[in-house]
Homo-oligomer: A and B are copies of this chain.
Amino acid sequence: MNEFDLLRKIRERVARPDDRVLVAAGDDAAVVRPAGSVSVTSVDIFVEGVHFRLVTTSLSDLGHKCLAASLSDIAAMGATGGEAYLAVGLPDHLGERETLELAEGAAALAAEHGVTICGGDLTRADELFVAVTVVGYAEAADRLVTRGGARAGDLVGVTGALGGSGAGLILLERKPPGIDIQAGERLLDRHLRPRPLLEAGRALAAAGVSAMLDVSDGVASDLERLCEQSGVGVEVQLDALPVDEGVAEVAAAAGVDPLELAAGAGEDYELLFTAPPAARDAVERAGRDSGSPVTWIGRVSDGGEPVPRLLDETGRSRELAGWDHLRRGREPKEPPGRASR
């Protein structure tokens, strides 16, 4: 396998015509005409044994998921997807076929969202890793939503349903008996082929959400980031969390609390946000119209520590651990099945 030949084959597979991309892969750098007055850029790395395991994912799904997780960051800013760059470290046991599968998995998702893969890098490595850079655009900076805009009295909302990805991971790893095959397939898909909510992100931004991020590490942990950046506390009702279909069954079969999956497992790539009460109706409409219905789960506190409080039905605060990629599954409080995330 030759680096330059393989890079050329990848280019052939991911190339899409695009008026804005003046020079795509194959030169020192890609040349692009920005599709807005501000650009939005995110970089994510995915490492075998930390973020995924090759025994439970196909290379094509892996390419899809790495790009989806990265585009989810663009969605969480309320931006439009633009370009992506894929850099891959390849262990010896993976050859040309697997590398092209990975590229094609990412390219198919990119095409769905009007995103052009226009560069990257390839090298040998001891373990498989994928570094994804995604660039999005907005017409103006004030169209974007950061994590820092939540204010006292704002409502806390989330799109779609939670815990599906975590339940899918349990199905992959532990294969608990008695789970309906169709329900199981859907949960596996939630885990292996998440959807970046680019349309919902833009719609929510336009509807006036005050702060937003995507659910990657789990609502419990992601809310910590929002509180920290906004300098506010939030109170969330755990029994208000929209738990994904089939999660309760998988949790029961595996002997796990479904709330751990909904609030702690992460990788649902739903959008978590705050909105002033006046924007409530517009936000609900934006969610419905973009296919990502909104559930209100709590409220930004008036004063207090800038941390989230997760309240159970009796009003007691509960701890639900998130996932820290530097600890790699060695934490005692680690959620079930996360060693292979």
Residues 111-145 of A at the B interface (beta carbon under 8 Å): 118-127, 129, 131, 133-136, 141, 144
The interface on chain A, measured as residues whose beta carbon lies within 8 A of the other chain's beta carbons, has a size of 73
A214 interface residue, CB < 8 Å from B? Answer: yes
Measured CB to CB, the nearest residue on chain B to A74 is B29
Q: Determine the distance from Cα of A177 to Cα of B1 in the docked complex, in whole angstroms.
A: 38
A87 x B39 contact (CB < 8 A) = no
Task: Tell me which of B76, B77, B133, B326 contacts A124 (CB under 8 A).
Answer: B326
- Residues on B with C-beta less than 8 A from A229 are 26-27
- Is A153 in contact with chain B by the CB < 8 A criterion? no
Kindly list chain B residues whose C-beta atoms are within 8 Å of the C-beta of A45: 87-89, 121, 123, 131
Whether A148 is near chain B, meaning CB under 8 Å from some CB there, is: yes
Q: Are A28 and B214 in contact (CB under 8 A)?
A: yes
B122 touches A3 (CB 8 A): no
> Known contacts A45-B123, A325-B3: does B38 contact A30 (CB below 8 Å)?
no
Inter-chain contact A38/B27, CB cutoff 8 Å: no
Contact segment of A46-54, A57-65, A310-318: A46-54
- Check if B123 sits within 8 Å of A43, measured CB to CB: no
Q: Nearest Cβ distance between residue A267 and chain B, in whole angstroms?
A: 14
A127 to B73 alpha-carbon distance, docked (Å): 26
- Kindly state the separation between the CA atoms of A30 and B134 in the bound complex, as whole angstroms: 11
- Contact A42 to B30, CB < 8 A, known contacts A3-B324, A85-B133, A325-B123: yes
Are B326's CB and A41's CB within 8 A? Answer: no
Q: Which residue of B lies closest to A212 (CB)?
A: B28
Q: Of the candidates B28, B79, B85, B129, which one forms a contact with A129 in the assembled complex, judged by CB atoms under 8 Å apart?
A: B129
How many copies are assembled? Answer: 2
**Does residue A204 face the partner (Cβ distance < 8 Å to B)?**
no
Against B, the Cβ 8 Å flags (1 = close, 0 = not) of A83-97 are 101111110000000
Is A147 in the interface zone, CB < 8 Å from B?
A: yes
Q: Does A285 contact B (CB under 8 A)?
A: no
- Inter-chain CA distance A118–B42, complex, in Å, is 10
List residues 133-166 of chain A with CB under 8 A from any CB of chain B: 133-136, 141, 144, 146-148
Q: In residues 303-339 of chain A, which contact B (Cβ within 8 Å)?
A: 324-328
Closest to A135 in B: B41
Minimal Cβ-Cβ distance residue in B for A8: B228
* Chain B residue at minimum C-beta to C-beta distance from A134: B29
Q: Is the CB of A29 within 8 A of B77?
A: yes
Q: List 13 A-B contacts (CB under 8 A).
A: A1-B326, A22-B141, A23-B144, A28-B73, A28-B74, A28-B212, A29-B40, A31-B39, A31-B141, A43-B121, A47-B125, A122-B326, A129-B129
Starting from the known contacts A27-B77, A43-B85, 13 additional A-B residue pairs (CB-CB under 8 Å) come to A3-B325, A6-B326, A28-B42, A29-B136, A31-B39, A33-B37, A39-B39, A41-B118, A43-B121, A47-B89, A50-B124, A124-B325, A124-B328
